[in-house]
Amino acid sequence: MEKYRTVLNLVLKQHATLGYSFLALATAGGEQLFSVVVFSCPCNSWNFAYSMVFLLIPALVLFLLGYFVSSRTWKLCTGCCINQVKHCSKTIICRGIKIFLQITVGALVAPVTWISVALLNGTFYECGMCGYHSEYLLQTLCYNKSSDCQSNLFKLPCGHSTLPLPIQEDIRLTIRAQSQVLGWSLIAAIVVFTLASTCILRCYSPVSFLQLQFWKMYKVKENELFEQKSAEHAKELAERNLKSFFNSEGPQDIRTPNRAAWEEIS
């Protein structure tokens, strides 16, 4: 029983990591589904714009959804436009920016996964590159090939190109390789950047690691207890009000914290 509890504790302790992993996996699966089922390259001058829309707009949507889902966004945002005078002190703005950055990092997980998987998959990039009008790119891809390569390139992803099949295959593999190299570079850059920045931030942290662990634990416990107490308090209040309504009596006094107190703990 105790061993079982140990395992459960381990799962609960790592639930943030597990959550992000699940999110990343779901995004990767979604990307695979989209690129096979929904995406079909138009094979004309629209190619580049169409691919960019499939590459970037879902990423943007996921990014904004990331903000939307986080309860900390709303904790930060709620009421901050009303008492602007009060919040103008420098410390509070700094703290606001810090929290905003933390939320942003959390919200970036899904879109970055989307773009990485899309690049590793190569479907969007292939369609986009075949419609991108750049002298340099065209010359690289059509190097040592027949003259109609450049004019026929944008038809390649659909298979309507008049180029001989081996050359089509060759160009296709080159573009796909570029896409995957780009994807891996993006992943490596992000991992390096994240590790470096976290390391530096932690390095300048005034509290030690175990103290940090303790405060994290405290926050979780406080949230739990707060919810519990709130529910009790709310039930008490509702009962009193309904009682006074049905009995047509004046309500009893229950002390509720006033607005200023609420704002302070937010």
Question: 20, 30, 35, 46: which one contacts its own copies (CB under 8 A)?
Answer: 46
Tally: H helices and E strands in the chain: 11, 0
What is the rounded distance in angstroms from the CA atom of residue 121 to the CA atom of residue 18? 24
Grouping H, G, I as helix, E, B as strand and the rest as coil, residue 80 is coil
Residue 92 or 212 with smaller CB distance to its own copies = 212
Residue 180 interacts with its own copies (CB under 8 A): yes or no = yes
Residue 24 interacts with its own copies (CB under 8 A): yes or no = no
Question: 29, 194, 197, 251: which one contacts its own copies (CB under 8 A)?
Answer: 194
Question: 41, 103, 149, 156: which one contacts its own copies (CB under 8 A)?
Answer: 41
Task: Give least dist CB 49 to its own copies, A.
Answer: 7
Residue 67 or 132 with smaller CB distance to its own copies = 67
What is the rounded distance in angstroms from the CA atom of residue 54 to the CA atom of residue 38? 10
Residues 78-117 that bind its own copies (CB under 8 A): 78-82
Residue 18 interacts with its own copies (CB under 8 A): yes or no = no
Residues 123-142 that bind its own copies (CB under 8 A): none
Query: Candidates 3-11, 23-31, 87-95, 145-153 — which segment interacts with its own copies by CB under 8 A?
Result: 3-11
Question: 16, 85, 88, 210: which one contacts its own copies (CB under 8 A)?
Answer: 210
CA 182 to chain centre: 20
Residue 33 interacts with its own copies (CB under 8 A): yes or no = no
φ and ψ at residue 184, rounded to 5 degrees: -65, -40
Residue 148 interacts with its own copies (CB under 8 A): yes or no = no
Residue 150 or 170 with smaller CB distance to its own copies = 170
Binding track over 219-238 against its own copies, x by CB under 8 A: -xxx-xxx--xxx-xxx-xx
Say which residues have a Cβ less than 8 Å from residue 155's Cβ, sequence separation at least 6. 43, 130, 161, 162
Question: 21, 89, 98, 245: which one contacts its own copies (CB under 8 A)?
Answer: 245
User: What is the Cα Rg of the chain in Å?
Assistant: 28
What tokens does 201 get? 């931030």
Distances (CA, A) of 43 to 36, 122, 208: 16, 16, 58
Residue 146 interacts with its own copies (CB under 8 A): yes or no = no
Residue 6 or 89 with smaller CB distance to its own copies = 6
Question: 61, 93, 94, 105: which one contacts its own copies (CB under 8 A)?
Answer: 61
Longest dimension (CA), the chain: 94
Question: 50, 114, 124, 125: which one contacts its own copies (CB under 8 A)?
Answer: 50
Say which residues have a Cβ less than 8 Å from residue 118's Cβ, sequence separation at least 6. 31, 35, 54, 55, 124, 125, 183
What is the rounded distance in angstroms from the CA atom of residue 39 to the CA atom of residue 121? 13
